[in-house]
Amino acid sequence: MPDLLLELFSEEIPARMQRKAAENLKSLVTNALVEAGLPYEGAKAHATPRRLALHVAGIPVGSASTREERKGPRVGAPDRAVEGFLRGAGLTSIEDATIQSDPKKGDFYVAVIEKPGRSAIDIIAEFMPGILRNFPWPKSMRWGTSSTRWVRPLHSIVATFGPETEEPDVVAFEFDGIQSGKTTRGHRFLANNTFDVRRFDDYAVELEKHKVVLDADRRKNMILNDAKDRALALGLELVEDPGLLEEVAGLVEWPVVLTGSFDEDFLEIPDECIQLTIRVNQKCFVLKDPKTGRLANKLVLVSNIVADDGGKMIVAGNEKVIRARLSDARFFWDADLKSKLSDNLPKLDVVKFHEKLGSVGERVKRLVSLSGELAPIVGADEANAKRAAELAKADLVSNMVFEFPELQGLMGRYYASAQGEDTSVATAIEEHYKPQGPSDSVPTDPVAISVALAEKLDLLSGFWAIDEKPTGSKDPYALRRAALGVIRIILENNLRIRLGDAIRLSSKMQSVEIANLDALSADLLSFFGDRLKVHLKDEGARHDLIDAVFALDGQDDLLMVVKRVEALGAFISSDDGANLLAGYKRAVNILKAEEKKGGSEITGKPLADHFKEQAEIDLAAAIDTARAEAVEAVDNENFEGAMEALSKLRAPVDKFFEDILVNAEDPTLRMNRLQLLAEIRDATHVVADFSKVAG
């Protein structure tokens, strides 16, 4: 079957846009093929700095003919209905329709729509201009006198179609004055001549001969392996940077790895500052000494050409720029160290955190108070927790963080350590932002934990107070991430915290007036419940079990919620648990039906002298015993024991439903038995709301 080869050759495409653009080209073209009745066997897209390429394999030579019968209105229907039918079916006259009879509905019109098959090459030529015209670039431009937009000026289009055994045809179409063909160019500097291509296999080979590596992942592997080899030759290790590797692979079509150096004096600057300076300004990788774990004064850079001098001038040019940028970084570092972190605090009063929530300075005061309250709960020194919270944001107005915002927190730790602050204080300044994502670690030092929890709780309660909550996919203040951070800190450190109390405490500290503190706390706690479901679902837990535990009043101790969920999951998966759940649901369904009739919930303890059957007597006794044992186990936080106590209800519940008619004719007897069913419901609710459990 024929293959399709497309190449869109242009000026340099920004590296950050290449991979997404290649995937967009693939999806747009393959979707158009499928919609046109042209299924395909496989497709793969590629991107280099100067080209997007797509190979689609196994396309039929043409679309199949189709025949569709479209049912219309009844014969004699209003003119408007008939006219709409004709328009939809593409008919010019009702005489072009046929009439079919239905024994029940009578005669009605039917349009037979036949579409002949078309050649694939014509279909592709027809839809390609529209795809290119509406291509979803994040940013695009116009050039010359054209009104067409593309990411960068487009120079040529390759479009060939044909089977492997034959000479492919050009898919002929025009876009912005550019006629599709089979001619492309090689590397801008190393092989900038034109050449013709036929299909993907010889296209990729010819590109390689013309110094272009088409596959981005292969370029990445070439860069990574060569960089590691050069580092090894120097007795050093490459500091891997996946994001930088992706970017650099999008800057070169023919990667050439070189090494350079910088003055050793710059190693007095923190490693992270050196790495970020070199990364941001020159897109270079840094190397470290495996013996010390610190950076060496060596770097790796990637060129897009093979230079006659072996790359000496390229290296020298990069080293010159890096020397200037590292000089700036050293100036920032030295200038910041001349003043204490605490000297920066007045500056935070003029830095706005949020229009409705005040300045960063005001927020720091809240963090100090909240961290002090949380410190004894998490086992932290209160004075150190308050000091860490006081200094946590002080590096935001430092020279280094102003230049590199990514270093906030980290630079605060460096400055605090250099200025003799307690180690736990310095650690907390860096780690109070953690975790910043699902793969990020959580703080483990008690002081860092207290400040990190305060940071996130203040953020959440503040935006809840001004009704700026996440909606749908929008979460501009990363509140979902903050809630998940609180959850992970609590669970991974096995902390016992009443989250509802912490929310209320944080909310009271906000500078805005809160009309209903209880409602805000309940709503925010529910938000935490939703985030906990997401977290535990990722861990393999069932969301309905979380609902069952959260449905009980006062369940804001997340560690105990998780333990209950784990115990409930194990119980429900057992035979006793599954059968008890079935009996519970049967009891609840009966109760719901009766309560709906009566208009109120059935309550009250059944009377022993009203029991007529042994199964009733046995169930009542079993409920009393199981409930007492379950309550005692829950009080001792022995949730497995509570489930074991409930498991004793399985046999008497089964026996009750086998032997007893609940809806007895005697109303007194019927109510007594309904109250016994209510006892089953109440007993199980000691550990969870079983009505929330699926199954």
- C-alpha span between 478 and 528 (Å, rounded): 14
How do residues 14-40 score in pLDDT, each as one tens digit?
999 999 999 999 999 999 999 999 999
Letter for the amino acid at 268?
E
pLDDT-based confidence at residue 541 (cuts at 50, 70, 90): confident
Which pLDDT value is given to residue 555? 79
Contact 589, 649 (CB under 8 A): no
- C-alpha span between 256 and 237 (Å, rounded): 19
Mark 676-693 as b/e (b = at least 16 C-beta within 10 Å): bbbbbbebbbbbbebbbb
The yes-or-no verdict on residue 91 having pLDDT over 80 is: yes
Which backbone phi and psi does 320 adopt, to 5 degrees?
-65, -45
- C-alpha span between 695 and 688 (Å, rounded): 15
- C-alpha span between 525 and 519 (Å, rounded): 10
In total, the chain counts a number of residues equal to 695
Which pLDDT value is given to residue 50? 98
Nearest C-alpha neighbor of 110 from the set 89, 131, 132? 89
What's the token pair of residue 574?
């057992």
Cβ within 8 Å of residue 613, ≥6 positions away:
659, 660
Contact 230, 259 (CB under 8 A): yes
What's the token pair of residue 383?
């004075």
How do residues 595-649 score in pLDDT, each as one tens digit?
888 788 888 899 988 888 999 999 999 999 999 999 999 999 999 999 999 999 9
CA angle 290, 296, 298 (to 5 degrees): 120
Question: What's the distance, CA 679 to chain centroid?
Answer: 44
Crossing angle (nearest 10°) for helices 499-508 and 517-538: 130
How do residues 403-434 score in pLDDT, each as one tens digit?
999 999 999 999 999 999 999 999 999 999 99
Sign of CA dihedral 298, 303, 308, 313: negative
How do residues 290-349 score in pLDDT, each as one tens digit?
999 999 999 999 999 999 999 999 999 999 999 999 999 999 999 999 999 999 999 999
- Beta pairing partners, 57: 42
Which pLDDT value is given to residue 320? 97
Walk across the sheet containing 66-74 and list its strands: 66-74, 106-115, 98-102
- C-alpha span between 194 and 183 (Å, rounded): 6
Mean pLDDT of all residues in 44-71: 92
CA angle 665, 669, 671 (to 5 degrees): 100
Crossing angle (nearest 10°) for helices 216-233 and 15-35: 150
What's the token pair of residue 64?
């199949």
Mean pLDDT of all residues in 115-129: 93
- C-alpha span between 61 and 52 (Å, rounded): 24
Which pLDDT value is given to residue 174? 96
How do residues 146-159 score in pLDDT, each as one tens digit?
888 999 999 999 99
pLDDT-based confidence at residue 533 (cuts at 50, 70, 90): confident
What's the token pair of residue 510?
């906000």
- C-alpha span between 8 and 25 (Å, rounded): 10
Mean pLDDT of all residues in 158-168: 93
Task: For the chain, give the percent of residues with pLDDT over 90.
Answer: 77
Letter for the amino acid at 153?
P
Contact 169, 162 (CB under 8 A): yes
What domains can you pick out in the chain, each with its CATH number?
3-61+119-209 (3.30.70), 67-115 (no CATH), 216-337 (no CATH), 343-540 (1.10.3210), 569-692 (1.10.730)
Virtual CA dihedral for 179, 183, 188, 192, nearest 10 degrees?
-130
Mean pLDDT of all residues in 377-384: 98
H or E element: which one contains 194? Answer: strand 194-196
Which pLDDT value is given to residue 115? 78
- What would you report as the CA-atom Rg of the chain, rounded to the nearest whole angstrom? 36
Residue that the structure tokens 């979902």 belong to: 480
Taking all residues of the chain, what is their mean pLDDT, rounded to a whole number? 94
- C-alpha span between 331 and 325 (Å, rounded): 10
Which pLDDT value is given to residue 123? 96
Residue that the structure tokens 């925010």 belong to: 524
Lowest model confidence (mean pLDDT) among 449-463, 539-553, 633-647: 539-553
- C-alpha span between 410 and 194 (Å, rounded): 51
- C-alpha span between 282 and 209 (Å, rounded): 29
Mean pLDDT of all residues in 239-263: 98
- Beta pairing partners, 8: 52, 157
What's the token pair of residue 527?
């938000």
Contact 75, 236 (CB under 8 A): no
Contact 269, 331 (CB under 8 A): no
The yes-or-no verdict on residue 234 having pLDDT over 80 is: yes
The yes-or-no verdict on residue 181 having pLDDT over 90 is: yes
How do residues 517-528 score in pLDDT, each as one tens digit?
999 999 999 999
Q: Could you give the C-alpha distances from 555 to 376, 629, 633, in angstroms and in order?
A: 21, 20, 16
- C-alpha span between 632 and 635 (Å, rounded): 5
Percent of the chain as helix, strand, coil, to the nearest 5: 55, 15, 30
How do residues 95-105 score in pLDDT, each as one tens digit?
888 888 888 77
Residue that the structure tokens 């497309």 belong to: 6
- Beta pairing partners, 56: 4, 43
